[in-house]
Structure formats: C-alpha cells, structure tokens
Amino acid sequence: MNATTITAQPGTPFIEIEREFEATPAQVFRAATDPELIAQWLGPRELSMDVEEYDARPGGSYRYVNRDADGNEYRFRGVFHTVAANECVVQTFEFEGAPGQVSLETATYTDLGGRTRLRTRSVFPSVEARDAMLASGMEHGVNDSYDKLAELVEG
C-alpha cells in the first residue's frame, strides 16, 4: 500500500497531500465525485457518513455529515468551481463547526500509466486557520480516508 504524504510548512496557510493509487485517473476521479462512492471512503473509519448533497459540476455544491458512535455530528459543505473529468477539481471546503473558515482546495489527478498520483492543495484564510485544521485530527482522517479510497479503487 502506498503512503499518504501530508505537508504543512510552518508559517504558511497551505496543506498539501499526495498519494499514489494503483488505479487509473478515471477510477480515482469517479470515486472522488460520485456521491455513492464518496460515502464509502471519505472520513475516518470510526465515523459513519451521510451525503446530503454532492453535485460535482462547476457551480454545484456538496454537504455531508459524519457521525460518531455517540451520535455527535460533524457537518461539512462547499461549492465546486472547476470539475475537469479525470484531471482536476477545485472546490471550497468548510467545517460547519468553524463557520467562515473556508479553504480553497485543488485536487489534481496525474496519469502514471495505469496508476494515479492524487495531489491536493488546500489554501486557508490564515496560518491560524490552517493550524486549527491540523490540530483537529485531520491527519488521522486523511490517512484513514486515503487508505479506504485505495481499498475501493484498487480492490
């Protein structure tokens, strides 16, 4: 299994994530834009997910909720700006528990000849907002999510 790399340079409002998958860009892109597939891999393993809306097209929006075993809810939403099939998605991302702290996320899907390099870059409104995201347990959620994505597209 390939490793997920999370990079957050001190003093910058950016988080960059990279992972290679043993699947084509079309397979990885579909898993990242199809609401039924998103629900199978996005979020930590210990949380369930309900996709309330996921319209992956320019101007489309999304909203989903993760729930833990005690019934606590974590809601997320955003708007898609660019959706270029098998190549790139640009969207906003907001945790509703921290309203107004919207990040801009760019995901690129690079064809490595039957394999895919997925790179995401998130731009936060401030270094403090970026640091709060890192402190939230984001690394655990990203690693679990990308492992589940690999299981889905490689299996």
pLDDT class of 155 with cuts at 50, 70, 90 = confident
Residue 8 falls inside a structural domain: no
In a domain? residue 7? no
Domains contained in the chain, number: 1
> In sequence order, what DSSP letters do the residues of 87-139 get, joined into one string?
TEEEEEEEETTSTT--EEEEEEEEE-SS-EEEEEEEE-SSHHHHHHHHHTTHH
Domain CATH number, residue 102: 3.30.530.20
pLDDT for residue 19 is more than 80: yes
Whether 63 is in a domain gets the answer: yes
- Tell me, what amino acid is at 63? R
- Is there a domain that residue 9 lies in? no
Q: Is residue 149 part of a domain?
A: no
pLDDT of residue 105: 98
CA distance readout (Å), 108 to 11, 16, 82, 127:
24, 11, 11, 23
Q: Is residue 3 situated within a structural domain?
A: no
Residue 154 in any domain: the answer is no
d(CA 109, CA 124): 21
Q: How far is CA 41 from CA 3, 37, 153, in A?
A: 16, 7, 10
* Domain contains 2: no
Q: How many CA atoms lie within 13 A of 124 on its CB side?
A: 21
Can you spell out the DSSP letters for 67-92?
Answer: E-TT--EEEEEEEEEEEETTTEEEEE
For residue range 73-128, list pLDDT tens digits in order. 999 999 999 999 999 999 999 999 888 899 999 999 999 999 999 999 999 999 99
Q: Which domain holds residue 83?
A: 14-144
What digits encode the pLDDT tens for the residues 25-83? 999 999 999 999 999 999 999 999 999 999 999 999 999 999 999 999 999 999 999 99
